[in-house]
Structure 1
Amino acid sequence: MKKKRYAAASIDHLIRCGITALAEETNKQKSSDPSRVQRLGDFELKKKLGKGGMGEVFLARQISLDRMVALKTLSKELAKKGDFVARFEREAKSMAKIDHPNVVKIYAVDSFKGIHFAAIEYIDGQSIQKWLDHLGRFSVADAVFVAIVSAEALKHAHSQNMVHRDIKPDNILVTQKGIVKVADFGLAKAMDEEVSMTQSGTGLGTPLYMAPEQARNAKHVDERVDIYALGATLYHLLTGKLPFLGNTALELILAKETGTYPTARSVRPEIAERLDLIIDKMMAKDPNHRYKNCDEVVRDLSALGLHGEALSFIDGAQPTGPGRGGVATPSVLGGTQGFRKTAGATQLPGSSTLGSMSDAAMGASRIWYVQFEDERGKTVVEKHSTGRLLKMLASGKITAKARAKVSADGTYYPLAQFPEFAKAVEDSLARKTVAIRKEDMQSL
């Protein structure tokens, strides 16, 4: 009888121990799952923002400083890899050294009850990719603006020996005030190295913007991979299309190895030839044929004078330039050399002397240098007012192929790139299309 009681007690003890162990294991699992906790150390989780290849992202409040942050957590799989965790923390600390108005800041890197995370600046806006999905493609002014600001941010990071490795529209963010911010510097590098060490070339994900040499060996790259990716991003913003396509990652990588893709200008003819050439140089297959650094990229893009002072698709975006704090340095906007948005006109390269004129004076009375082909096919240059040029477009004396500038030493740009003539050029092209269709109908 005693033996039976003892056996029953032993079984009961084992069951209780098993239940306790199971509960402890369950609690342990819950504690390592950020979606089941409300607080990670100094950070109070508010809501889940999304999930990426590295883990989940949460909106959180940093209690000690009473500020909102984005909390990026490592997935359970990555958290089990000690080498990756160490690399993640090391890269996050390196990223914290980057202090630039167009780079998303990192505030902390820590772990709490087995959950590893990084707290970064929360951006109250959305990615360039989401804007691209919405708009289809960007205006030339907006696309070049984003490229220049991103290149300035990259230039600063490169000076700190940081290579991003994952520049793409998803990693370029825009605040509600229209400030462009490059995100995920060190974190992208840590993830890239992990992928390259654990997967083959066919498992790298979809390297849509990745430089060919990075696809071959992600560990041994330099700042030129960021220049390539930024060039591919600029191409996508301008054309609404990707330069290379493939049904699989491997097909895409092989396509890039050819180095051949449709030029941006062939997809969108209004793109200036010089801008097209800059993109080609940024995306050269051989790194030695690319720009050596982002300073060169900023210089050449700024010299075009095609960028705006603010993103046109952001309501209430404040013009950003020297001393305004929205974009970094004066080199971004090249002083007065870019498009300057005003209530009634656009200031163009070489036109800084017109800055004090009233909007009315800069309207129909503005004098332009216009370059076009006459009836004999000869290229001529004449000076006309805005009103006169509009009449010439309407009468067909000049076509949409005409180019203009506002000063003798300025640069010629297609009429369609000036707000004063955009509608007239569109009407001219429409009339030409109708005329061609009539001729086709008459020939039937």
Structure 2
Amino acid sequence: MNTPVPDPPAADPSPSQSDATGEQGLEETYVPGEADTGTEGLARMADADPESESGPAAASSKAKASARKSKASELGDFKLLKKLGEGGMGEVYLARQQGLDRNVALKVLSKQLGKKEAFVERFFREARAMARLDHPNVLKVYAVETDKGRHYVAIELVDGQSMQDWIDQLGHLSVPDSVLVTILCAEALRHAHEAELVHRDIKPDNVLVTKRGQVKVADFGLAKAADEDVSMTQSGTGMGTPLYMAPEQARDAKTVDLRADIYALGCSLYHFLTGELPFQGNTALELVMAKEKGIFTSARKLNNQIPDRLDLLVDRMIAKDPNHRYSDCSELLNDLNSLGLAGETLSFIEGAEPAASGSASSTRATPATSPTRTNKPASSLPAVSLPLPSSAEDAAAQRATAADDDKWFVQHTNAKGRTAVSQMSTSRVRQAIEGKLLDLKARAKQKQSDSFMPLAQFAEFEPLIKKRIAQSRSGGSSGLKNIYQKLDKQHQRQKKWRALNFLFRSAMGWVWLTVFLAIVVAVSLGAWSVWGDTLGPKLQELFNWK
């Protein structure tokens, strides 16, 4: 779900309907659900002042309606002001955090997804991971909570627009602006990767720019929670995320690493520089096949202002094979900064300020080695509150998200088919389960003195194991994976056809050779029968036959 960037908040709209009408729509409007359109309800949100009523009765009715409106228009400490947009995960609202007196963007998980326990657990886990990120180029997360049965996350509100909006307006960016934005995004990604968080949805829509020219990368973690619903079964090139997605992520989004983010950032840089996408297709299948071939038009051919070194850097970022890309963002930043092409500010932002300290301005002297990771004290982290456990299942779900750094001894079958024991953190075990690197028979324990037990016996891993079992019973996945499966079947059919064609041609070759030899023998015998009496003595004389 993309993070919309609103226009400056306008005054509350005037009422257009009576109190009675407003009262009927409050629950639908201010506790967002499937029927919420975000337009009609905004008018009902204004304070009602009907001219048709007066006196004590009207005042009493107005007070009751106001109380109901105030209660329904709030989620926890956040007062909903305006609907900004919606996506596959739910709705986004402009809200006021009353305790700290500041505006925020409030992402509310849809009711349908809110009913899926595993998804809600992951929603909270990824939001908590986002809250640990503290960087000037990363959108801040203020809280993740549950109220009135709705799950939501409060994030920093940006007074600007996305890079996709700027590309739509400008066509493409200048080289200095393109490199500067990419450096700032790479700084944000490096910080996230050091926290063991892969974005997996880098694209211009998720790169926001404030009115002061500061760049913010949005939707860390939440994009990761939504990847199961990404599909490329539709036609057309307006498919969003898949246009920037690495080929290996399209095959299996669960097992990608930080190089998938570098690929997506490279596609975004290509788009900034040229106004075009490196890989295109009229259908999803054409797009997938283009990425699998890894062939694209050089950015320099589309924009001759691009230096050769920058062109080669883009080529390396979007290499088909992850091993041919940059290994991490530190290596990428070293090359970007060594070009000396980045501007001090964004030229398309009037009155833009230089990059914030700790972002692009400090990376121009980035050492070759990756910076030492430091752990911030808990008091410096944004406040995050989890819903109170209302049942044993809720308590187990919260315990499952509580200790990502706990160590486990995991007994599993390795790639050689042998039983092995590996020491992993909780987050690593979860990743291995999701990525199907651990089989369903794997066992674990926390202390060496303990006995190994099935992973499903631990609250930390039970939801993922159940999900794996359900997937294995249902027969697998859909969307992008289906496309790759179709391509693989098509490739196998082509291989079989080529093999049969080769055998047919070989057999026909032998047949024609046999026919040719038979003709030669027949002609020779015929000639001998006709001229044998004449040729015989001459051949005997020629070869001294007796």
Q: What is the TM-score of this pair, normalised by structure 2?
A: 0.53
Residue 147 of structure 1: how far off its partner (Å): 0.3
Would you say 1:258 and 2:289 are equivalent positions?
A: no
Query: 1:26-425 maps to which residues of 2 (within 5 A)?
Result: 31=31, 33=33, 35=38, 37-192=72-227, 194-195=228-229, 202=233, 205-206=239-240, 207-320=242-355, 325=357, 328=359, 330-334=361-365
- Equivalents in 2 of 1:236, 1:184: separation in Å? 20
- Equivalents in 2 of 1:309, 1:251: separation in Å? 39
Residue 254 of structure 1: how far off its partner (Å): 1.7
- Equivalents in 2 of 1:276, 1:329: separation in Å? 20
Residue 282 of structure 1: how far off its partner (Å): 0.4
SS of residue in 1 equivalent to 2:85? strand
Asked whether the equivalents of residues 54 and 191 of structure 1 are also in contact (C-alpha less than 8 Å), the reply is: yes
- 5+ residue gaps in structure 1? 1-22, 336-444
**Share of identical aligned residues, percent?**
59
- Equivalents in 2 of 1:71, 1:172: separation in Å? 18
Asked whether the equivalents of residues 184 and 360 of structure 2 are also in contact (C-alpha less than 8 Å), the reply is: no
Asked whether the equivalents of residues 137 and 238 of structure 1 are also in contact (C-alpha less than 8 Å), the reply is: yes
| One-letter identity of the residue aligned with 1:253 | V
Residue 319 of structure 1: how far off its partner (Å): 2.3
Asked whether the equivalents of residues 281 and 290 of structure 2 are also in contact (C-alpha less than 8 Å), the reply is: yes
Asked whether the equivalents of residues 145 and 308 of structure 1 are also in contact (C-alpha less than 8 Å), the reply is: yes
Residue 202 of structure 1: how far off its partner (Å): 2.9
| One-letter identity of the residue aligned with 2:347 | S
- Equivalents in 2 of 1:223, 1:134: separation in Å? 31
SS of residue in 2 equivalent to 1:250? helix
Residue 51 of structure 1: how far off its partner (Å): 1.5
- Equivalents in 2 of 1:255, 1:113: separation in Å? 47
Asked whether the equivalents of residues 309 and 333 of structure 1 are also in contact (C-alpha less than 8 Å), the reply is: no
Q: What CA deviation, in whole Å up to 9, does each residue of 1:250-277 have, x standing for no partner?
A: 3212210000010101111221000000
Residue 32 of structure 1: how far off its partner (Å): 5.2
SS of residue in 2 equivalent to 1:254? helix
Asked whether the equivalents of residues 183 and 360 of structure 2 are also in contact (C-alpha less than 8 Å), the reply is: no
Residue 48 of structure 1: how far off its partner (Å): 1.0
- Equivalents in 1 of 2:125, 2:215: separation in Å? 26
| One-letter identity of the residue aligned with 1:94 | A
Asked whether the equivalents of residues 30 and 73 of structure 2 are also in contact (C-alpha less than 8 Å), the reply is: no
Q: How many residues align?
A: 305
| One-letter identity of the residue aligned with 2:91 | E
Residue 280 of structure 1: how far off its partner (Å): 0.5
SS of residue in 1 equivalent to 2:221? helix
Residue 78 of structure 1: how far off its partner (Å): 1.4
Asked whether the equivalents of residues 85 and 92 of structure 2 are also in contact (C-alpha less than 8 Å), the reply is: yes
Q: What CA deviation, in whole Å up to 9, does each residue of 1:310-332 have, x standing for no partner?
A: 00011111223xxx53x526443
Q: Which residue of 2 aligns with 1:341?
A: none
- Equivalents in 2 of 1:285, 1:328: separation in Å? 29
Greater relative CO (CA pairs within 8 A, separation 6+): 2
- Equivalents in 2 of 1:158, 1:122: separation in Å? 23
- Equivalents in 2 of 1:91, 1:170: separation in Å? 20
Q: Which residue of 1 aligns with 2:12?
A: none
| One-letter identity of the residue aligned with 1:332 | T
SS of residue in 2 equivalent to 1:262? coil
Residue 113 of structure 1: how far off its partner (Å): 1.2
Q: 1:286 to 1:300 in 2, by over 3 A?
A: same
Residue 64 of structure 1: how far off its partner (Å): 0.6
SS of residue in 1 equivalent to 2:177? helix
Asked whether the equivalents of residues 92 and 106 of structure 1 are also in contact (C-alpha less than 8 Å), the reply is: yes
Asked whether the equivalents of residues 143 and 154 of structure 2 are also in contact (C-alpha less than 8 Å), the reply is: yes
Q: What is the TM-score of this pair, normalised by structure 1?
A: 0.65
Asked whether the equivalents of residues 102 and 180 of structure 1 are also in contact (C-alpha less than 8 Å), the reply is: yes
- Equivalents in 2 of 1:316, 1:46: separation in Å? 29
Residue 28 of structure 1: how far off its partner (Å): 8.6
| One-letter identity of the residue aligned with 1:134 | Q
SS of residue in 1 equivalent to 2:129? helix
Residue 49 of structure 1: how far off its partner (Å): 1.1
Asked whether the equivalents of residues 298 and 331 of structure 1 are also in contact (C-alpha less than 8 Å), the reply is: no
| One-letter identity of the residue aligned with 1:202 | T
- 5+ residue gaps in structure 2? 1-22, 42-71, 367-546
- Equivalents in 2 of 1:43, 1:29: separation in Å? 15
Q: What CA deviation, in whole Å up to 9, does each residue of 1:305-360 have, x standing for no partner?
A: 1110100011111223xxx53x526443349xxxxxxxxxxxxxxxxxxxxxxxxx
44-53 or 236-245: which moved more? 44-53
Residue 76 of structure 1: how far off its partner (Å): 2.2
- Equivalents in 1 of 2:265, 2:189: separation in Å? 10
| One-letter identity of the residue aligned with 2:198 | V
SS of residue in 2 equivalent to 1:202? coil
Residue 249 of structure 1: how far off its partner (Å): 2.5
| One-letter identity of the residue aligned with 1:190 | A
Residue 145 of structure 1: how far off its partner (Å): 0.3
- Equivalents in 1 of 2:243, 2:147: separation in Å? 35
Asked whether the equivalents of residues 168 and 233 of structure 1 are also in contact (C-alpha less than 8 Å), the reply is: yes
Asked whether the equivalents of residues 94 and 104 of structure 2 are also in contact (C-alpha less than 8 Å), the reply is: yes
CA RMSD of superposed structures (Å)? 2.4
Asked whether the equivalents of residues 279 and 296 of structure 2 are also in contact (C-alpha less than 8 Å), the reply is: yes
Asked whether the equivalents of residues 32 and 114 of structure 1 are also in contact (C-alpha less than 8 Å), the reply is: no
Asked whether the equivalents of residues 234 and 283 of structure 2 are also in contact (C-alpha less than 8 Å), the reply is: no
Residue 226 of structure 1: how far off its partner (Å): 0.3
Q: Which residue of 1 aligns with 2:417?
A: none
Asked whether the equivalents of residues 144 and 307 of structure 1 are also in contact (C-alpha less than 8 Å), the reply is: yes
- Equivalents in 1 of 2:282, 2:361: separation in Å? 42
- Equivalents in 1 of 2:360, 2:193: separation in Å? 16
- Equivalents in 2 of 1:191, 1:59: separation in Å? 22
| One-letter identity of the residue aligned with 1:265 | R
SS of residue in 1 equivalent to 2:196? coil
- Equivalents in 2 of 1:329, 1:312: separation in Å? 15
